[in-house]
């Protein structure tokens, strides 16, 4: 299932620029496909009345979407501006998702492994702070790339936590289309 989802994301062509001119169509499509794959795995697990398995949660596929978009940015006339827009989008999306995730004490006791073990650990990772300005002091090309990768990894962490919250039934499905539409309106 994951392999098919990844192949379908690779086959999605870059879409036309949105109203802001930020040509992130492939990124948006990739995120939507990654989220749909997670929701399908969750539905399948729940329909079989089995315990959701840990393999279905993880933000790695979402991080892969950013890698694809960084590559697309490299093919534009202004790759630095493109990657800066991508970074801003990921930071905003992370904030939107994070705002909807309940604190560990609000999910405690729902499931000994998921809510009392994994969830608080992921919460701590998501709240973690950088050890320092990892991207500072380098060339513009490296700095812009580094900032985009850092934003992607941070977004991937919060998506992983959101997926665990979803498994626990304490948050609704991630509405990426709604969040993306809101970004276009801003």
pLDDT tens per residue across span 69-111 = 999 998 889 999 999 999 999 999 999 999 999 999 999 999 8
* Whole-number pLDDT of residue 184: 58
pLDDT at 161: 93
* Structural domain boundaries, residue 93: 2-185
User: Among candidates 34, 16, 33, 32, which has minimal Cα distance to 24?
Assistant: 16
Q: What is the count of structural domains for the chain?
A: 1
Please tell me the predicted confidence (pLDDT) of residue 44: 83
Per-position pLDDT tens, the chain of length 186: 343 333 333 333 333 343 334 456 788 889 999 999 999 988 888 777 666 677 788 888 899 999 999 999 988 899 999 999 999 999 999 999 999 999 999 999 998 888 998 899 889 888 875 555 677 777 888 888 888 998 999 999 999 999 999 989 999 999 887 776 666 555
Query: What is the model's pLDDT at position 16?
Result: 31
How confident is the model at residue 23, as a pLDDT?
A: 54
pLDDT at position 130, please? Answer: 58
């Amino acid at each position: 299932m994951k392999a098919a989802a990844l192949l379908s994301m690779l086959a999605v062509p870059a879409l036309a620029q949105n109203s802001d001119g930020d040509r992130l169509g492939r990124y948006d499509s990739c995120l939507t496909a990654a989220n749909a794959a997670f929701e399908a795995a969750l539905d399948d697990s729940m329909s079989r009345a089995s315990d959701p398995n840990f393999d279905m949660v993880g933000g790695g596929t979402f991080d892969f979407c950013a890698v694809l978009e960084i590559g697309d940015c490299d093919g534009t006339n202004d790759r630095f501006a493109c990657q800066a827009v991508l970074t801003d989008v990921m930071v905003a999306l992370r904030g939107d998702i994070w705002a909807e995730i309940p604190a560990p004490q609000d999910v405690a006791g729902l499931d000994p492994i998921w809510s009392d073990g994994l969830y608080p650990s992921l919460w701590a990772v998501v709240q973690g702070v950088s050890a320092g300005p990892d991207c500072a002091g380098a060339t513009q090309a490296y700095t812009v790339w580094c900032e985009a990768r850092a934003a992607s990894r941070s977004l991937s962490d919060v998506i992983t936590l959101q997926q665990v919250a979803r498994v626990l039934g304490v948050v609704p499905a991630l509405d990426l289309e709604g969040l993306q539409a809101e970004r276009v309106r801003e």
